[in-house]
Structure 1
Amino acid sequence: MSSEIIENAEDLFAEASKAVDALYTIRDTYFPTNPDDKTSKLLAESNLALQVLDEIPPEKRKTPVQRATYVYLRGKILDVFPEYKKEAEDHLSKAVKLNPSLADAWLSLGAENQVKIVDDSINHAKEAITLDVKDGNSWYNLGNACLTSFFVTGAWDHGKLLQSLKAYQHAEKDERMKSNPDLYYNCAIVNKYLENYERALSGFEAAALKDPGLSAMEEVQKIVRLLDKIESLLRGQIKFKRLASLASSLSSVNLNASYRRETVDHLSEGLNKAVAIVGRVIFFVKHENVAPFYYLLCDSSQSCYVLSVYGIHNEAIKEGDQVTLLEPSYRYVDFSWKGKSYQFRSVRVDFLEQVLVNGKTLPPQHSVQTSIYAQNKT
Structure 2
Amino acid sequence: MSGESTGEEALAKAASATDDLYHLRDTYFPANPDDKTAKLQTQSDLALSLLDSIPPEQRKLPLQRATYEYLRGKILDVFADYRKEAEDHLSKAVKLNPSLADAWLCLGNCIWKKGDLSAAKNCFTLALSKGRNKKIMCQLSMLNRKIAQGTENQAELIEESIQHAKEAITLDVKDGNSWYNLGNACLTSFFVTGAWDHNKLRQSLKAYQNAEKDERMKSNPDLHFNCATVNRYLENYERALTGFETAALKDPGLKAIEEVQKIVNLLDKIDNLLGYARAKRLTSTASSLTAVNFNSSYRTGTIDVLREGMNKGVAIVGKVLFFIKHENVAPLYYVICDSNQTCFILSVYGVRYDAIKEGDQLTVLEPFQRLINLSWKEKIYQFKSIRVDFLEQVLVNGKALSPQQAVHSSIFAQHKPA
TM-score exceeds 0.5: yes
Partner of 2:378: 339
* TM-score (norm: length of structure 2): 0.64
Deviation readout 1:150-184 (Å, 9 max, x if unpaired): 11110010001001111111111111111111111
Matching residue within 197, 208, 226 for 2:248 = 208
User: Which amino acid in the other structure matches residue 338 of structure 2?
Assistant: D
The 1:239–1:125 alpha-carbon spacing in structure 2 relative to 1, beyond 3 Å, is same
* 8 Å CA contact retained: 1:5, 1:60: no
Query: Does 2:288 align with 1:249?
Result: yes
User: Which amino acid in the other structure matches residue 343 of structure 2?
Assistant: C
The 1:89–1:130 alpha-carbon spacing in structure 2 relative to 1, beyond 3 Å, is closer
Query: Does 2:273 align with 1:233?
Result: yes
Deviates most, 265-274 or 145-154: 265-274
* TM-score (norm: length of structure 1): 0.71
The 1:351–1:300 alpha-carbon spacing in structure 2 relative to 1, beyond 3 Å, is same
The 1:215–1:272 alpha-carbon spacing in structure 2 relative to 1, beyond 3 Å, is same
Partner of 1:309: 348
CA–CA distance in structure 2, aligned partners of residues 74 and 330 of structure 1:
48
Query: Does 2:165 align with 1:108?
Result: no
Partner of 1:161: 201
Kindly state the Cα deviation for residue 252 of structure 1 after the two structures are TM-superposed: 3.6
Partner of 1:178: 218
Partner of 1:287: 326
Kindly state the Cα deviation for residue 258 of structure 1 after the two structures are TM-superposed: 1.5
Partner of 1:195: 235
User: Which amino acid in the other structure matches residue 233 of structure 2?
Assistant: Y
* 8 Å CA contact retained: 1:89, 1:109: no
Kindly state the Cα deviation for residue 257 of structure 1 after the two structures are TM-superposed: 0.5
CA–CA distance in structure 2, aligned partners of residues 136 and 147 of structure 1:
16
Partner of 1:224: 264
Kindly state the Cα deviation for residue 249 of structure 1 after the two structures are TM-superposed: 2.9
CA–CA distance in structure 1, aligned partners of residues 81 and 271 of structure 2:
38
3-state SS, counterpart of residue 250 of structure 1:
coil
CA–CA distance in structure 1, aligned partners of residues 113 and 327 of structure 2:
23
User: Which amino acid in the other structure matches residue 273 of structure 1?
Assistant: K
* 8 Å CA contact retained: 1:250, 1:278: yes
Kindly state the Cα deviation for residue 240 of structure 1 after the two structures are TM-superposed: 2.9
Partner of 1:369: 408
Percent identity at matched positions?
64
Partner of 1:142: 182
CA–CA distance in structure 1, aligned partners of residues 113 and 301 of structure 2:
50
Deviation readout 1:263-295 (Å, 9 max, x if unpaired): 111112112112110110000000111111111
Query: Does 2:365 align with 1:326?
Result: yes
Structure 2 regions of 5+ residues with no counterpart? 1-29, 36-78, 83-110, 123-138, 410-418
Partner of 2:306: 267
Kindly state the Cα deviation for residue 201 of structure 1 after the two structures are TM-superposed: 0.3
CA–CA distance in structure 2, aligned partners of residues 220 and 341 of structure 1:
16
The 1:316–1:332 alpha-carbon spacing in structure 2 relative to 1, beyond 3 Å, is same
* 8 Å CA contact retained: 2:148, 2:157: no
User: Which amino acid in the other structure matches residue 231 of structure 1?
Assistant: D
Partner of 2:398: 359
User: Which amino acid in the other structure matches residue 177 of structure 1?
Assistant: M
* 8 Å CA contact retained: 1:260, 1:274: yes
* 8 Å CA contact retained: 1:313, 1:368: yes
CA–CA distance in structure 1, aligned partners of residues 80 and 184 of structure 2:
25
How many residues get paired?
A: 294
* 8 Å CA contact retained: 2:190, 2:201: yes
* 8 Å CA contact retained: 1:106, 1:152: no
Structure 1 regions of 5+ residues with no counterpart? 7-57, 62-70, 79-84, 371-378
